[in-house]
Structure 1
Amino acid sequence: MTTETTRAPRLPGDLSHDQLLDRVIRVDHAGEYGAKRIYEGQLAVLGSKPEGQVIRHMLEQELVHLKAFEKLMVERRARPSVLFPIWHVAGFALGAATALMGPKAAMACTVAVEEVIDEHYRQQNAALGESEPEITEKIAQFRAEEVEHRDTGLAHGAEQAPAYELLSGAIKAGSRLAIWLAERV
């Protein structure tokens, strides 16, 4: 572990540790809320179908993640994303739209989002290093569950969705944009 005196000097635009932590908590809170809304949108369409139980299980895990980041926001005095109303509407719309395309498209949505989140969480833990063990442990646990969601989506035919590559690419691009925005706004 490096100390402040052995680190390379900060450059203009580099985040301080507190700024990085605020950004991590804000974006992860927004992301978990968005995931909650995606699954709620999917359940609005597929809730009574066999896939409903699978989606409900993933939603339950996302609610645990969301609760953890809500608690961290209060404890660490992190501000939420001001784009919260957009995540509310966009998440539900994405979930409902993909579910309307069919169960495999809903699972393709899950796979695309979770692949982006897997990489995002990995990068966050690398950036935080050993400075925040409580938070990096949570992120590692949540990352494992997000990978589980990805694997569940693949096991339920995500790659058989109509225009899978196009759908996946569009959802990944949107997820990356949402992350970039939530980190900053």
Structure 2
Amino acid sequence: MQTAHLDHLILGFDRALRVVSGLARASRPNPALALQENELSEQEKAHSAGLMRVNHVGEICAQALYDSQGMFSQTPAVKQQFAHSGIEEEDHLAWSAHRVAELNSRTSLLNPLWYAGAYACGTIAARCGDAASLGFVVETERQVAAHLSSHLEKLPVQDQKSRAIVEQMRQDEIAHGAAAQALGASDLPMPVKAIMRAMAKVMTTTAYRI
């Protein structure tokens, strides 16, 4: 029993290192690969890079959340859903990192902090039971989908590559929330939702620049 627990810890630590160091691997083709790179001004490039850096941080957090919630979930069906969603979120992580690099920028310098904070939140949610944990997913994905919709409005119209990635991410996040809802998610209290929005605001504002 202790050996199995130690193995889980080692695997989890290895995964965290790979995530924050940018070694994510996509299982699906990047939706932007077939699109032409249109000309962007330096200001537009910087703006797109900032938005995609925010999205990359969101995916860092998603990896931490799904890893922690999956580890502490109580039923096989819930564990399987977290694992499936985590794979698609890793696609997002790889795609957004690639796009940030294409825009001659870098990912957030605070990625280890973002991962650690999200992992703690996911662990707390999972310890409250599967229904509450799934409810946390539903609310998280609802907020993320709204956030991505706002990025589709803010990205330069000619930045078709970034827009294609964000749109696919948005569709996936909606599907993840629906899957969690179907598994029996409970509705979170309004104060918890408000705290989640406030935390997300801090993250997005900071990650755009750092």
Cα pair 1:108 1:168 within 8 Å, conserved = no
CA distance in 2, matches of 1:177, 1:27: 11
Question: How far did 1:26 drift?
Answer: 0.9
Give me the whole-angstrom Cα distance separating, in 2, the residues matched to 1:143 and 1:38. 17
Distance 1:157 1:178 in 2: 29
| TM-score for both structures, normalised by structure 2 | 0.74
User: What CA distance in whole angstroms lies between the structure 2 residues aligned with 1:144 and 1:120?
Assistant: 12
Question: How far did 1:175 drift?
Answer: 2.0
Query: What amino acid does structure 1 have at the position aligned with 2:169?
Result: F
Q: Is the 8 A contact 1:26 1:73 kept in 2?
A: yes
Aligned to 1:56: 83
Residue 169 (structure 2) pairs with residue 169 (structure 1): no
Match of residue 184 from structure 1 = 209
Please tell me whether residue 46 in structure 1 is matched to residue 73 in structure 2: yes
Structure 1 residue 47, shift from structure 2 partner: 7.1
Distance in 2 of aligned mates of 1:159 and 1:104: 5
Contact 1:109-1:171 at 8 Å conserved across structures: no
Following superposition, which runs of at least 4 residues in structure 1 exceed 6 angstroms of deviation?
none
CA distance in 2, matches of 1:64, 1:180: 23
The alignment yields a C-alpha RMSD, in angstroms, of 1.9
Gaps of 5+ in 2: 1-41
Equivalences, count: 169
Instruction: Look up the match of 1:81.
Output: 108
**Pick from 138, 145, 150: which aligns with 1:118?**
145
Partner of 2:29: none
For the 8 Å contact 2:52–2:162, the answer to whether it is kept is: no
The answer for unaligned runs of 5 or more in structure 1 is 1-14
- Relative to the length of structure 1, the TM-score reads 0.83
Whether 2:134 is the aligned partner of 1:134: answer no
Tell me the CA shift for residue 104 of structure 1. 1.3
Alignment partner, residue 4 of structure 1? none
Rate the CA distance shift 1:112–1:177 in 2: closer, same or farther, 3 A.
Answer: farther
1:48, distance to aligned residue in structure 2 (A): 6.0
Structure 1 position 98, deviation (Å): 0.3
- Identity over the aligned pairs, expressed in percent? 22
2:175 aligned residue: 148
Distance 2:50 2:121 in 1: 24
Offset at residue 129 of structure 1 (A)? 4.3
Distance in 1 between the 2:156 and 2:208 partners? Answer: 18
Distance 1:61 1:90 in 2: 21
CA distance in 1, matches of 2:123, 2:204: 21
